[in-house]
Amino acid sequence: MAEMSDVFFVDGMRTPFGRAGEKGMYWNTRADDLVVKAIIGLMERNGDVPKDRIDDVAIAATSQTGDQGLTLGRTAAILAGLPMTVPGLAIERMCAGAMTSVTTMGASIGVGMYDVALAGGVEHMGRHPIGANADPNPRFVAEKLVDPGALNMGVTAERIHDRFPHLTKERADRFGMASQHKAQAAYEAGKFQPDLVPVAIKDAEGAWGLATEDEGRRPETTLEGLASLKTPFRPHGRVTAGTSSPLTDGATISLLAGSAAVKEFGLAPKMRMVSFAFAGVQPEIMGIGPIPSTEKALKKAGLTIDDIGLFELNEAFAIQVISLLDHFGIADDDPRVNPWGGAIALGHPLAASGVRLMIQLAAHFAERPDVRYGLTAMCVGLGQGGSVIWENPFFDGKKKRK
C-alpha cells in the first residue's frame, strides 16, 4: 500500500537566461533543446538516481506551440536520453508554469504515487511571444468579464500604482536598481554559477559559442537613469523597462523525491516542501495575486509571515513585489527578500521562473542554517498568484552569526 510521504527538493539547475529576440543569445537555439540541456546537467550532477526510477517529467511552457509544444515533458525526456519507460507531460499556468510542475509532481509524491520526478519549465519568448498564437474568447470583452487591458501585463502593473498611491515610482525605481546591484554582487561572489548549465549557441554568422551567464543584467543602473526612462504602458505612467522583467529565453529543471527514495538512494535534499497554494484575483490587477496565495499557503502550513526567514519573490514588476511586501509589513529593502536580486536583473522566461526561485532559495538555505522557512511566490497572468513554503533541512535553531 502506498503511504503519505514528505516531499523534498533534492536539486535544481537551469540554463543561463538570454535576452529574447534576434539579438539574444538563444535566437538560433530551440526551446526544447534548452530543456534537454538542463535535464542532462541535472541528471549528471545526481548520478545516484537511476534514470529508470523517474516516475514522471513535468515541463511547463506558456506558449505550447512549435518547438515548445508536443507534450514537452515526454519529448524532452526522450531527447535527454531518459529511458523510454519514463513518461512525461506538459503544464501551462503562464508565469507559474514551473511552479505548478513542482507542486503537481510534489503532490503525486506526497500521496505516495511517485517516488522521484523531474519538474521544470521553459520559455523561448523570442520565438514565442506571450499570447502570439492565442485566440481569446470574444466573450471576455463583449460580456465585460475581463477588461481588455488585463491581457497586457504592464497595464496591470500600472493599476497597482493606481490602487496604492503610496507605492510610488521612486520606490519602484529604487527596488529595480537594487535588484541589478544585488545580482551583480552575487555573480561576482560566484553564487549563481554552480547551478547554471552551459549551453552551446550559434550566432547569425554560424559561429559557435557557449552561454555561461545571464545575458540581460544591467549592473550600471542608477536612479537618475531609471528616472529618465519612458513609460511604455501609459503616457506619464510609472512602470518602465527598468522596473520590469525583460523578455527572456531560458529553461529550469528540478529533481523531487519522497522520503523512501531519499533514503534508498542516499540523497541529500536541499529543501522540504511544507505547503503550497494558488489563488485568483481580478485579472486587471493580477500583480497582487501572490498576496492571497501566500496567505493560503501560510494557513495550510500553520505559520505566519513572521516565520518566513527568506523570500524569493518573482520580480515580474518592481511594483508587484513592493505591493506584497507592503501588505505584509515588510520593508522594500528587507535583506530577507531576494538577497541575490531577481527577475528584473536576471530575466523572467515565464513558465521557467518558478524553479529559478527555488534554486536560489535552496542555495540560501545551505548558507543560512539560522533560517527554518522560506517562501517562493509569484504573480500569474490572467489574475492568479502562486506560493510555495519550504523548510531548510540545515536549520540548526541558532540565531544568525555576526
Catalytic center residues: 95, 348, 379
Query: What span, in angstroms and rounded, lies between the C-alpha atoms of 378 and 247?
Result: 16
CB 379 within 8 A of CB 322: no
Query: What span, in angstroms and rounded, lies between the C-alpha atoms of 15 and 195?
Result: 8
CB 353 within 8 A of CB 378: yes
DSSP labels for 235-247?
Answer: TT-S--GGGBPPP
User: How many residues does the structure list for the chain?
Assistant: 402
Q: Tally Cβ neighbours within 10 Å of residue 89.
A: 17
Phi and psi angles of residue 170, each rounded to the nearest 5 degrees, phi first = -65, -40
Query: What span, in angstroms and rounded, lies between the C-alpha atoms of 244 and 344?
Result: 6
DSSP labels for 270-318?
Answer: SEEEEEEEEEE--GGGGGGTHHHHHHHHHHHHT--GGGEEEEEE--SBH
Q: Tally Cβ neighbours within 10 Å of residue 223.
A: 13
CB 121 within 8 A of CB 355: yes
Query: What span, in angstroms and rounded, lies between the C-alpha atoms of 6 and 270?
Result: 13
Return the residue matching grid coordinates 529574447: 20
Which amino acid does the sequence have at 1?
A: M
How far the first Cα of the chain sits from its last, in Å, is 49
Measured CA distances, 191 to 48, 75, 194 (Å): 25, 31, 7
Integer-rounded Cα radius of gyration of the chain = 20
Q: What would the grid cell of residue 302 be?
A: 500553520
Query: What span, in angstroms and rounded, lies between the C-alpha atoms of 57 and 116?
Result: 9
**DSSP element (H, E) containing 202:** strand 199-202
Query: What span, in angstroms and rounded, lies between the C-alpha atoms of 316 and 322?
Result: 11
CB 58 within 8 A of CB 125: no
Phi and psi angles of residue 94, each rounded to the nearest 5 degrees, phi first = 45, -125
